[in-house]
Chain A
Amino acid sequence: MTSAISLANVEVGQELPPLTMTFTRAGLVAYAQASGDMNPIHQDEEVAKSVGLPDVIAHGMLTMGRAIKVVTDWVADPACVIDYSVRMTRPVVVPDTAAGVEVVFGGKVAAINDDGTIRIDLTATFDEQTVLGQARAIVRLG
């Protein structure tokens, strides 16, 4: 792996550049096709509402997949990520509009471990509320 960042330039508390990404219905269809997760609550408003959701919601795994871009953009090489975990605490509700909705992703260096790996804590904010909890990546720079 070849990271764009070296450990000497990393300090605890350092913020990674945030990213804003748009979630649209068409985007959910594309993710369903790419991932094979065809659950209709991610595509069909009637089905979503019938199970008590306010509207169609994004795949939690799509939100997880987008959040890590904060880290992989920073290090350049995605192989630097050796562990990645999230809790999906709240859904991203996606209305049937061309503009869709925006989710803001952020990351911060939470720890530099004894083995030289670093822990990045990630945030995902939609509608002023957090949608991922305990989202963290362990990164080995090299």
Chain B
Amino acid sequence: MNREMIGFAYPPSDTLLVTKERIAQFARAIGDDNPIYFDDDAAKSAGHPTVCAPPTFPMVITMAAMEKSFHDPALNMDYSRVVHSDQRFEYARPIRVGDQLVVTTIIEDIRSLGSNDIATFRTEVAADGEHVVTGWSKLVVRGDDA
């Protein structure tokens, strides 16, 4: 991979409007029936303006944003050899119904371990300009002899 890309920020993603249906579908798929993911009244009694999304929901939008950069010829990344090894999220607040989310993807680090490259992508997620969550995805690109 091209180490000169370390620190590069891709242009902001398209906007994704978070809907109640999208959150419910995601919560059902992870097998979580927490009422705060489904029911406005339950969310409000916990102090939220509306239904909130589960903690790993941001990946729905950050993965799509990162995938665009995977195919950037300047990055020189062989996507067919990628394994997602680590994921972290740091939350300012939960994602909620009605959020208009935009992601900025930053190449935070690229380093070598043996024949592998290890790339850390930082994804900054904002809703109408308000910072909501930061994700870090560490991807291992297996080298030729791995």
Contact = CB atoms under 8 A, between A and B. Distances in A.
A25 to B, nearest CB: 13
A83 B135 CA distance: 10
Contacts of B54: 65, 68, 72, 78
A86 B86 contact: yes
**Contact-residue bracket for chain B:** 20 to 34
A126 interface: no
Interface in B1-51: 25-26, 28-32, 34, 36-37, 45-48
Given A27-B29, A83-B89, A85-B86, A78 B34 contact: yes
**Contact-residue bracket for chain A:** 20 to 34
A68 B29 CA distance: 14
Q: DSSP class of B's interface residues: helix, strand, loop or mixed?
A: mixed
Contact of B85 (A30, A33, A34, A87): A87
A73 to B, nearest CB: 7
Contact of A83 (B34, B84, B90): B90
B74 interface: no
Interface string B71-87: 00000000000001111
A64 B28 CA distance: 15
Contacts of A31: 29-30
B89 A76 contact: no
A122 to B, nearest CB: 12
Interface of B: 25-26, 28-32, 34, 36-37, 45-48, 52, 54-56, 59-60, 63-64, 84-91, 93-94, 136
29 contacts: A2-B45, A27-B31, A30-B29, A33-B29, A34-B28, A35-B26, A61-B87, A62-B29, A64-B87, A68-B54, A68-B55, A69-B30, A69-B32, A72-B32, A72-B54, A72-B55, A73-B34, A76-B46, A77-B47, A78-B34, A78-B37, A79-B48, A79-B91, A83-B89, A84-B55, A85-B87, A86-B86, A87-B85, A87-B86
